[in-house]
DNA sequence: CGCAAACTTGAGCGTACTCAAGCGCAGTGG
DNA sequence: CCACTGCGCTTGAGTACGCTCAAGTTTGCG
């Protein structure tokens, strides 16, 4: 709805990474993709499905995650408008993907992508860079999950979200506290308590649970390490 | 020394991944690489260095890691004989690499690789698959770091090492308890205590600290989830 | 307005951490 | 040959951070 005109699949779209540097991508890569609306909590693909499609978020937000047998969940990543997910080199999806809120996504069939790749081998390099970028982001997340305290994890998350999507001064969180907890390797209670703590310390403000304003960036960045 | 003949850089070498499926790689990709011996704890590259080389372990073992300002360390991965590391799509190395024990590694200059890629675009697909494989392994590690208990982490690690390198019935660990702790997001004491616990439960035997025998695979796999 | 879902807050507990001491083995030198 | 030394590993005791269980509050939506 909102940004549909600017992120039209037929227009040249810079592909922005979380890590910062935008990489231009062939203007019509997504021109043969179909647009699809996904309701909140709707599954996009599940662990074990054949990886026959690649996706790009137009609006909304998507989470990828894995479940342990006893129900413990690990959210691997959040994907916001403009970001690509489901790009596996081969085989089946290793993780599941769901829409966090009602979302518009572009769906590109894998065989179409393969076709394009045979005609334009240079494209392969772009895909590789996207995957490599994702890998770097994943590995950076290791230090957070393996070595950081709760307050450091939450601060890192807010700083990262602040760099990705800010609407007039406030971060709009599409995901629930549970999603955040499962992303940061914490419980929902710890996430909630920690955000309250950050608010008490005047580092952030919370006009509502899903809207976060960063009041003092410096100490948050310090916690980010 | 030992396996030099079979892992000769000029001979066709199947490239085996941790995830299992071997992928054939162009026989002479590493023919222009130089062989190098790295002493124990010797740095191979550091965070921030220009990513101008790609490496393949011939013998020994390598760790990649990141340091937080206060000295906390997160080991991202261990690379054993036959495995490739340092393959970044662009820019600088994001992490550091060190030899765990005295190791033989093949060093391929990035510009040579680029040259090969222009002549044989198909190679790019192989590189992409290597990176994608690494990404999958990284994301699988998320659940361990974010959601598993100490005993589950150690069990997962031992199962994984058992699949990668077994010498007549025993796992030879090239890395120290500290390396394992920093890989699993635990302390050295917890790793030690947990291994003792697994030994007391007769799931493993420890002829020595660096030699582990898996006595009962089933419950270990169960802990792995 | 009423209900359900999401979020917050509180109290008590447990797992893994911290700090500290002791052990075992390999290498070295008397 | 054996004491000495250093490093890596193990074990112990006490602590703390984040989890569990539970109740209460707020928000969003029919």
* pLDDT tens digits for range A165-204: 999 899 999 999 999 999 999 999 999 999 999 999 999 9
Does the fold of domain A148-224 match that of domain A4-145?
no
B-interface mutation test, from A71, A139, A155, most B Cβ less than 10 A away: A139
Instruction: Output the CATH code of domain A148-224.
Output: 1.10.10.10
pLDDT at B24 (0 to 100): 55
pLDDT at B4 (0 to 100): 35
Report the residue of chain B nearest A136, measured CA to CA: B94
pTM given for the model: 0.90
Nearest C-alpha of chain A: how many angstroms from B40? 24
Nearest 5°: phi and psi at B107? -115, 120
- Closest residue to D21 (CA, C1′): A189
| Residue among A121, A131, A142 minimizing CB distance to B141 | A142
Residue A224 in contact with residue A155, Cβ under 8 Å? yes
Q: What is the rounded average pLDDT for all residues in chain B?
A: 89
Ordered by start, the domain boundaries in chain A are 4-145, 148-224
Residues 6+ apart with CB under 8 A from B91: B50, B51
Q: What is the rounded average pLDDT for all residues in chain A?
A: 89
B-interface mutation test, from A142, A154, A221, most B Cβ less than 10 A away: A142
> What is the spatial distance between Cα B58 and Cα B76, in angstroms, rounded to a whole number?
20
The whole-number average pLDDT for the span B58-62 is 97
- B37-51 burial, b at 16+ Cβ within 10 Å, e below that, comes to ebeeeeebbeeeeeb
Residue A27 in contact with residue A11, Cβ under 8 Å? yes
CATH of B4-145, one of 2.30.30.240, 3.40.50.2300, 2.70.150.10, 2.60.120.10: 2.60.120.10
The whole-number average pLDDT for the span A36-45 is 97
pLDDT at A122 (0 to 100): 84
For the cut 90, the answer to whether the pLDDT of residue B15 exceeds it is: no
H or E element, residue A43:
strand A43-45
* Band (B130; pLDDT cuts 50, 70, 90): very high
Render pLDDT for A98-107 as a digit per residue (tens, 0 to 9): 999 999 999 9
Handedness of CA B211, B217, B219, B221 (dihedral sign): positive
């Amino acid at each position: 709805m909102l940004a549909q005109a600017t992120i039209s699949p037929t227009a040249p779209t810079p592909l922005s990474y979380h890590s910062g540097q935008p990489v231009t991508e062939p203007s019509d890569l997504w021109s043969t993709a179909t647009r699809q609306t996904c309701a909140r909590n709707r599954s996009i693909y599940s662990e074990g499905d054949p990886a026959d499609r690649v996706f790009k978020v137009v609006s909304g937000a998507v989470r990828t995650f894995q479940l342990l047998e006893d129900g413990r969940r690990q959210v691997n990543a959040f994907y916001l408008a403009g970001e690509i997910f489901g790009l596996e080199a081969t085989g089946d999806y290793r993780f599941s993907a769901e829409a966090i809120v009602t979302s518009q996504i572009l769906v590109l069939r894998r065989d179409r992508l393969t076709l394009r790749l045979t005609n334009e081998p240079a494209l392969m390099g772009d895909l590789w860079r996207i995957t490599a970028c994702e890998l770097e982001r994943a590995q950076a997340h290791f230090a957070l999950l393996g070595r950081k305290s709760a307050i450091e994890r939450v601060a890192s998350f807010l700083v990262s979200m602040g760099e990705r999507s800010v609407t007039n001064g406030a971060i709009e969180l599409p995901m629930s506290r549970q999603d955040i907890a499962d992303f940061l390797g914490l419980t929902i209670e710890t996430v909630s308590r920690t955000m309250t703590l950050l608010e008490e310390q005047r580092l952030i403000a919370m006009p509502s649970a899903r809207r976060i304003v960063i009041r003092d960036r410096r100490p948050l960045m310090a916690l980010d390490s």
